[in-house]
Amino acid sequence: MEISTLATYHCLAFGWYFFVAYSITNVRTEERPSEVFLYGGQWKYLTVLNLVLQAVFYGVSFLADVLRLIKKRRCAKCIISSRDLLFSVLAFPVSTFVSISFWTLYTYNRELVYPKSLDGVIPLWLNHAMHTAVLLFAVLEILAMPHRYPAKKKGLILLGFVAFLYISWVLWIYSVTGEWVYPLFALFSPAGLAAFFAGSLAVVISFYNFGEFLNRMIWGQSKFCF
């Protein structure tokens, strides 16, 4: 894509994610089911955190495009490095994990991840914006332009660290409230939950590797935007 086209796309994507994140974080208090949105509010859900992550990523991408358009190449290189690191380590694997894991569990038993009581609070379009469109945007981003992936060890360490932070947040909420962020977690013994978290991390890592594979297959090793 031309830089101006990329800038337009990234600006629109940033606006979209900002709007979706604003919409879900401003659900009126009186409409919220009693069993959700308690301690930690919406910020305990990976889906909502992912919306913020995507908004940040597309904001950084738009800034990189603008700097390239005005020929500020020295500044652009630094921003582009941040953009590529965000996309490769977090934006693509987390979006893919959120979408695929949500719809898999939703199909099996929606009450484990998205209680029916939410249907009266969160409209259908917003549900798909949070859990379907995120995957489409992630794939479109790979198709739109190449991204430089970090060394595999560095990428996996960063991804593992972020996963550790989120799991710690989930466990902290349980220690304070006695309630799990997702009803699914209550089905496991401590050992089973540890295995579930480890398995989920393995799945996220596989999505990281898949994103790197797609990027390499589509763009090769040498085409990067500077």
The answer, yes or no, to whether residue 160 has pLDDT greater than 80, is yes
Q: 58 pLDDT band (50/70/90 cuts)?
A: very high
Instruction: Give residue-wise pLDDT tens across range 89-135.
Output: 999 999 999 999 999 999 999 988 888 888 888 899 999 999 999 99
DSSP character at residue 129: H
- 179 or 92, higher pLDDT: 92
Residue 63: which of 42, 52, 44, 79 has the closest Cα?
A: 79
C-alpha to C-alpha distance for 23 and 221, rounded to whole angstroms: 39
Instruction: Give residue-wise pLDDT tens across range 68-90.
Output: 888 777 777 889 999 999 999 99
Q: What's the whole-number mean pLDDT along residues 3-20?
A: 95
Residue 48: which of 158, 182, 153 has the closest Cα?
A: 182
Structure tokens belonging to residue 198: 């480890």
Task: Give the model's pLDDT for residue 118.
Answer: 85
- For 49-76, letters b (16+ CB in 10 Å) and e give bbbebbbbbbbbbbbbbbbbeeeeeeeb
Task: Give the model's pLDDT for residue 168.
Answer: 96
Helix/strand number for the chain, H first, E second: 8, 0
Q: 42 pLDDT band (50/70/90 cuts)?
A: confident
The answer, yes or no, to whether residue 33 has pLDDT greater than 80, is no
- 72 or 64, higher pLDDT: 64
Least confident of 27-31, 113-117, 212-216: 27-31
CB atoms near residue 226 (< 10 Å): 10
The dihedral of CA 37, 40, 44, 49: what is its sign?
positive
Domain parsing of the chain, residue ranges: 3-219
C-alpha to C-alpha distance for 39 and 138, rounded to whole angstroms: 30
C-alpha to C-alpha distance for 170 and 157, rounded to whole angstroms: 20
Q: 221 pLDDT band (50/70/90 cuts)?
A: low
Which three-class secondary structure state does DSSP give residue 207? helix
Average pLDDT, the chain: 90
The answer, yes or no, to whether residue 17 has pLDDT greater than 70, is yes
The answer, yes or no, to whether residue 226 has pLDDT greater than 50, is no
